[in-house]
Amino acid sequence: MAVRLVGGGEPQLSGYDPPDHDAGSGFGTQNCEWRNVDPHAVPRWGSIAFVTLRVETLISLSGNGSPDLQPAKTSSAGEFQDKRMHVLPPDQRLGDQSGQFYDEPSGVQLAVCYFRRANVEVKVFYQGMGNNSDGSEVHRPPEELEKAAHDVAAEALQRLGPPR
């Protein structure tokens, strides 16, 4: 899916940080980010584009490494304190709790889709800006970007499999 959305298949950034229980953290994070390497190779964003797809995963674990649901629920509640975040309609919901928003900070189009399943939270950011060869800006329909972010989140949920 990254190839279709960003024009590249391998993430430019990725990494896993395990929980640091000595420092009081019960969250492990896994992040991957794909960026278009060639500004001319991103479909549907114009002749010159800068596009990023980022998937952030937060896993809540207890001190012995077992799943810890309560911190994930608390963190999830915090996501919905962002006034832009809205709960997805029933036919689009993902996991135990999910939401989405669209924004245009500094001219960059941004769609975010979030879900929590048990002790795992996933947040997908799909953003970009582009221009045509005549210099005119490309403005993608917000619903397209929201759908793309949702599709990536749905694929992430499928790959998670059932809670264990």
Query: How far apart, in Å, are the Cα atoms of 138 and each of 5, 41, 67, 131, 150?
Result: 15, 15, 44, 5, 21
pTM of the model: 0.88
Q: In the prediction, which pLDDT does 41 show? A: 75
> What does the alpha-carbon distance between residue 70 and residue 155 come to, in Å, rounded to a whole number?
25
Joined together, the tokens standing for residue 72 give 């994930």
pLDDT, one tens digit per residue, over 103-122 is: 999 989 999 999 999 999 99
If the chain, 164 residues long, is cut into consecutive pieces of 10 residues, what is the mean pLDDT of each piece? 66 68 68 84 85 92 81 88 92 95 95 96 95 92 96 93 72
Residues 69-97, buried b or exposed e (16+ Cβ, 10 A)? eebbbeebeebeeeeebeebeeeeebbbb
pLDDT, one tens digit per residue, over 5-19 is: 777 666 666 677 766
